[in-house]
Amino acid sequence: MVALVVAVVVAAVAGGVAWWLRSRRPAPPSQGPSWAVPTHVDRHDFVRPDAPWLVAVFSSATCLACQATIDKAEALESSAVAVQDVEAVADKAIHDRYRVEAVPMVLVVDAEGDVRASFLGEPTATDLWAAVAEAREPGSTPGDCDHGSAAG
């Protein structure tokens, strides 16, 4: 009987110590926010759905990097490339539809609505222009260049 009481006490103490050690363990490091980049869009949600290519810049009027991103994208406007600034307030429905929560976000989209390249944050002009060139004509940029992708 004494052995049983000692075993129960030892088990209770061990359980208490295990609980205490676990409760002192620091919380895991924050993984931070994770923003999803759309992989497909409905071209009819954007300007010139008949254009072979679309460069959509999701932006906000309060974002300093957004205007520079828009300026870089607008240089790509042509008969083959439609460029649209999708501003968070003015185009809230589109931001909501594609769950865009971070700006600037740039999507390079083909005629079928597949996102062929993307940038989260302000890209360099060289990277943005190279991504559009590569999407339009694969192999047109050097293979060791690392620019936009569907993942960012």
Residue 51 maps to which CATH number? 3.40.30.10
Mean pLDDT score, 5-9: 71
Is residue 116 in some structural domain? yes
Query: What are the CA-CA distances from residue 64 to residues 67, 119, 143 (Å)?
Result: 6, 16, 32
Is residue 61 in some structural domain? yes
Is residue 74 in some structural domain? yes
Query: Over 80: is that where the pLDDT of 30 sits?
Result: no
Split into its structural domains, the chain has a count of: 1
Is residue 65 in some structural domain? yes
In which band, very low, low, confident or very high, does the pLDDT at 149 lie, cut at 50, 70 and 90? very low
| Claim: this prediction has a pTM higher than 0.75 | no
Instruction: Please list the residues that pair with 117 across neighbouring strands.
Output: 108
Q: Is 7 exposed, middle or buried (0-12, 13-18, 19+ CB in 10 A)?
A: exposed
The pLDDT tens digits for 113-140 are 999 999 999 999 999 999 999 999 988 7
For residue 67, the enclosing domain spans 43-136
d(CA 81, CA 77): 5
